[in-house]
Amino acid sequence: MVKSAFHELGFENADELVTKSQLIHFVASEIRKRSMTQIVAGKLLGLDQPNVSALMNEKITRFSVEKLMELAAKLGFAVTIHIEGHGIQIDVPVQSAA
């Protein structure tokens, strides 16, 4: 994983924070791109208003990696974990597209 501000600041869970940061930014950006209101986004994603607000403000501590992957799937994206190395390459489906 690429070094980040989380790494530079010495966070023990820096890799997880980078992953969460990228995922939450993706989901929030997609909601903005679709010009969805927080009410519409909440209904689609199954979130209450405070959590939609936290999502849109990219509060990464409020969401797990798994929850963010679930939200991306609810927006219609297939989510997989890509593993490669030592001559192996595999994509593991995590969430099906909604």
* Ordered structural domains, the chain, with CATH: 5-95 (1.10.260.40)
What's residue 87's pLDDT? 94
Please check the confidence at residue 96 and state whether its pLDDT lies above 70: no
pLDDT single digits (tens) 47-94: 999 999 999 999 999 999 999 999 999 999 999 999 999 999 999 888
Tell me the sheet residues that pair with 93: 80
3-state secondary structure of 74: helix
Contact (Cβ atoms closer than 8 angstroms) between residue 20 and residue 28: no
What's residue 3's pLDDT? 80
How does residue 13 score in pLDDT terms, banded at 50, 70 and 90? confident
pLDDT single digits (tens) 25-39: 999 999 999 999 999
Q: Which residues contact 75 (CB under 8 A, 6 or more apart)?
A: 27, 30, 31, 44, 45, 98
CA distances to 38, 47, 75, 95 from 43, rounded to whole Å, are 9, 7, 11, 19
What's residue 12's pLDDT? 86
Please check the confidence at residue 1 and state whether its pLDDT lies above 70: no
Tell me the average pLDDT across 11-38. 94
